[in-house]
Amino acid sequence: MAIAPASPRLPLFSERRVSVLLPLPLAGAYDYLVPEGMEEPPPGTLARVPLGRREVVGVVLGPGEGEVEAARLKPLNAVLPLPPLPPSLLALVDWVAAYTVQPRGAVLRMALSVPDALEPPSGTPAWVATPGVEGDTLRLTAARKRVLAVLADHGAMPFATADLAREAAVSPSVITAMGKAGLLHSLTLSREWEPPRPDPDQAGFPLSEEQGAAASRLRSLVSGGFSTTLLDGVTGSGKTEVYFEAMAECLRLGRQVLVLLPEIALAAQWPDRFAARFGVEPVQWHSQMGQAGRKKAWRAVALGRAQVVVGARSALFLPFPDLGLIVVDEEHDSAFKQEDGVTYNARDMAVVRGRLGAFPVVLASATPSLETIENARQGRYGHILLPSRHGGASLPRIELIDLRRHKPEKWQPEPVIVEGGAKVEDGAKDGVVDGNGAASGVQAKSVVRHEQARMGWLSPPLIQATREALAAGEQVLLYLNRRGYAPLTLCRTCGHRLQCPRCTAWLVEHRRTRRLQCHHCDFQMPLPDTCPSCEAPDSLAPCGPGVERLAEEALFRFPEAHLEVAASDTLPGPKEARAMAERVRSGAVNLIVGTQIMAKGHHFPALTLVGVVDGDLGLSGGDLRAAERTHQLLHQVAGRAGRADRPGRVLIQTVDPGHPVMEALATGDADRFIDTETEERRALCWPPHGRLVALIVSSTDPAAAQAAARALGRTAPLAAGVDVLGPAPAPLSMLRGRHRHRLLLKAEKGVRVQGMVAEWLSRTPIPSSVKVQVDVDPLSFL
Ligand code: ADP
Ligand code: ZN
């Protein structure tokens, strides 16, 4: 359509119109008029626009559509003093919206996630000498002369009042008086953050031959436009050091670098290693950062001042004006998938951003996803292998412990001695009063409680190996991917199980806080004294182990150990995680009882033994990727052992040592496992050989949710190569009070599923009380 040319003689609110996309869940953009006197804003410009009675910030996409008559359009209120969002980011927003079947505005909102960042930081007043004023030629007090001398010494640099007063050794009132007298000129200094610049040429570790070859291949890709490369190296092979070289190359070209990491790996040692190689801390982006930190980071990226950003998945939508490289480390990790709101996989969308921006993308992993392996095998991705550990360290020896033959034994806690009348310790049962304090010179009023024998989770061989490692001055990780004390609490009298009132999930006991928590929503309650169902007192019993309960046993079995529990409850953020890592490296901790928060990123040279307490945990009741995921996770955990000169050993407790995952781990033959998995999936047309789109239908009204799910079942697309499974109640049939049903569209690779799903939704009436969430390439099937 035609646009009136920009002309200063046009009447107010001329016909010049632009199309503006708003960060709201809307697919379309709105036209606004460009007010008289305002230059036509280029695409990407951020502008304040009226919307109803509100004002919102949107992004100018280009010339308006012209469908609405000009008289009914409103003008832009203002253009923000920020560089326009780069075209490749706008293209990414469109692309992600189309791919995930989400409104464009909802995707844009991820790029404008920090509304505060759109405002410039508040300025500080500062001073410069008024031109022509020279201290030597004027009759001035000594104090005033010193002020002018300081300014003259520093060229034209403006000084904040406090700094100038300090440097010149005068009181601030001298400076303000000089301002009034016209000797000084005040201006406002923007406090825009300038992150320190990483130095690409600071020497890194000398690379081994294998690493050097990999690094030079990556380096050569940096200036070569778009490519995707899998950096496939065993744990401890030095993948980080290798991709650091590609990053250095990109920095030398003056372009920005983004490194995406799963949040918990970011919490480990990455920033320290970056600082060791490049001399400064990287700019970070993760969920633990407050608004102020995000604002600083967002602006530093937008203004092109942040050279390197390391972040969790949402960093992908930062407004880099000149991105030249993305590294996705631990590319197989499901943390890259966002499950709510816009469901997208940052790993895959990183590749899209690379293609749109014509720069390379590196995917690093010791256990690449089947999708990525398939892409590498098909030649779509380059493939660089690092088959050996750095510095001659050997890969850890992995052995299985058959729990059917090596049963964990019960253990008898020491009697608990409490002062008379004091509250009984945790878990103490059937206490026996020993009024004589015969136990060991305890005062007469003391009470001794003899506890019941407790369940054990550590088999004799694992206990033995742990003792040996600790005795040799080495460190041990006991790995159990379950937070809290016990995953289930039940009543011994009536069998009642404590369940979340809002979710189909058991409540998990957390003994540290003496509370029951739902791990799916934020529901919490104090641990009750009586059974909520039959009211029997003292009848609730924990069932199964979490890390807190395992730690109890470990403290009993290894009383000399310096034990620490590492779970997201005890290490809620990167700061705590780094402090913990430091305690391990310094030797203050030698026995870690940890969840998957400990599985990746960490490098502890003295850690030689990893004990996997429940190797079968991820395999039961799982989805199509249960085996793949369990293999990846256990492989990663195993990779924590023996990373330096002392060889590592991994013991995996399992009741199913014949399972393909256990065999693959024990024999180290990951390739065979991957081949079998791939073939099985090919036969069934599962990803990566077919495509999946899940629809999750939910409502607080159970009947409405079910009716809508059935309606979608009836209108499901019928096409060659397409199959719709369901509707069926979701495994998590209630979540946060919403009743849930699932449908799964399964299609052959070539089918354009997005259009099909959009069309399916558009011709199925869904009441407003029901939400339908579209999940393209689902990873979770709960
Ligand atoms: P990966 O990510 O492949 O598991 P890392 O990059 O974490 O491996 O490297 C493992 C450890 O070996 C790190 O502590 C790293 O600093 C060290 N390392 C790797 N390559 C070298 C090298 N060429 N010289 C010295 N140390 C190295
Ligand atoms: Zn819940």
Structure tokens at 644: 């330096």
- Report the atom number in ligand 1 closest to the C-alpha of 329: 2
Q: Specify whether the backbone of 537 is left (phi greater than 0), alpha (psi in -120 to 50) or beta.
A: beta
Q: Check pocket membership of 269 for ligand 1, CB cut-off 6 A.
A: no
Q: Which letter does DSSP use for residue 280 in this model?
A: S
- Report the atom number in ligand 1 closest to the C-alpha of 276: 16
Please tell me the predicted confidence (pLDDT) of residue 423.
43
Judged by average pLDDT, the poorest of 29-43, 52-66, 75-89, 122-136 is 122-136
User: Where are any strands of DSSP class E within 54-161?
Assistant: 54-63, 78-79, 124-129, 159-160
Q: Check pocket membership of 205 for ligand 1, CB cut-off 6 A.
A: yes
- Report the atom number in ligand 1 closest to the C-alpha of 239: 3
Question: Could you identify the residue written with the tokens 């996705």?
Answer: 328
Q: Check pocket membership of 338 for ligand 1, CB cut-off 6 A.
A: no
- Which residues is 186 bridged to in the sheet? 127
- The yes-or-no verdict on residue 692 having pLDDT over 70 is yes
Structure tokens at 619: 């395999």
Based on C-alpha coordinates, what's the Rg of the chain? 31
Under the banding of pLDDT at 50, 70 and 90, the label for residue 430 is very low
d(Cα 432, Cα 415) in Å, to the nearest integer?
10
- The yes-or-no verdict on residue 431 having pLDDT over 60 is no
- The yes-or-no verdict on residue 89 having pLDDT over 70 is yes
Q: What size, in residues, is the chain?
A: 782
Q: Are strands 591-594 and 475-479 parallel, antiparallel or unpaired?
A: parallel
Q: Which-ligand-closest: CA of 737?
A: 2
Crossing angle, helix 172-180 and helix 142-153, to 10 degrees?
90
Q: Check pocket membership of 645 for ligand 1, CB cut-off 6 A.
A: no
Please tell me the predicted confidence (pLDDT) of residue 371.
95
- Report the atom number in ligand 1 closest to the C-alpha of 240: 6
Q: Check pocket membership of 208 for ligand 1, CB cut-off 6 A.
A: yes
Ligand 1 atom 18 nearest Cα = 238
Q: Check pocket membership of 236 for ligand 1, CB cut-off 6 A.
A: yes
Q: Which-ligand-closest: CA of 525?
A: 2
Q: Model's pTM, two decimal places?
A: 0.85
Structure tokens at 215: 């690094």
Question: Could you identify the residue written with the tokens 């050989």?
Answer: 689
Q: Check pocket membership of 365 for ligand 1, CB cut-off 6 A.
A: no
- Output the CA 90–ligand 1 centroid distance in Å: 37
**Burial classification of residue 635, based on how many CB atoms lie within 10 Å of its CB (0-12 exposed, 13-18 middle, 19 or more buried):** buried
- The yes-or-no verdict on residue 664 having pLDDT over 50 is yes
Per-residue pLDDT averaged across 162-179, rounded?
89
d(Cα 318, Cα 326) in Å, to the nearest integer?
12
- Output the CA 230–ligand 1 centroid distance in Å: 18
Please tell me the predicted confidence (pLDDT) of residue 421.
46
Q: Check pocket membership of 237 for ligand 1, CB cut-off 6 A.
A: yes
Percent of the chain past pLDDT 70, that is, above it, reads: 93
Given ligand 1 and candidates 234, 240, 389, 636, which is best to mutate, with the most ligand atoms within 8 Å of its CB?
Answer: 240
Given ligand 1 and candidates 205, 274, 390, 604, which is best to mutate, with the most ligand atoms within 8 Å of its CB?
Answer: 390
Strand order, beta sheet including 722-735:
722-735, 738-748, 690-699, 771-776
Under the banding of pLDDT at 50, 70 and 90, the label for residue 432 is very low
Reported as a single tens digit per residue, the pLDDT across 42-76 is: 999 999 999 999 999 999 999 988 788 888 899 99
d(Cα 602, Cα 597) in Å, to the nearest integer?
10
**DSSP string covering 708-771:** HHHHHHHT----TTEEEEEEEEEEEEEETTEEEEEEEEEEETT--HHHHHHHHHHTS---TT-E
- Report the atom number in ligand 1 closest to the C-alpha of 206: 23
d(Cα 772, Cα 765) in Å, to the nearest integer?
11
Reported as a single tens digit per residue, the pLDDT across 191-213 is: 788 899 999 999 889 999 999 99
Ligand 1 atom 19 nearest Cα = 238
- Output the CA 29–ligand 1 centroid distance in Å: 48
What totals of helices (H) and strands (E) does the chain contain, helices first? Answer: 20, 32
Q: Check pocket membership of 585 for ligand 1, CB cut-off 6 A.
A: no
Given ligand 1 and candidates 209, 365, 603, which is best to mutate, with the most ligand atoms within 8 Å of its CB?
Answer: 603
Ligand 1 atom 2 nearest Cα = 239
Reported as a single tens digit per residue, the pLDDT across 237-287 is: 999 999 999 999 999 999 999 999 998 777 668 888 999 999 999 999 988
- Report the atom number in ligand 1 closest to the C-alpha of 235: 4
d(Cα 60, Cα 64) in Å, to the nearest integer?
9
| Residue 364 CB coordination number (10 Å) | 24
Per-residue pLDDT averaged across 678-683, rounded?
91
Judged by average pLDDT, the poorest of 86-90, 104-108, 681-685 is 681-685
Residue 350 CA: distances (Å) to CA of 191, 260, 369? 32, 9, 15
- Report the atom number in ligand 1 closest to the C-alpha of 211: 23
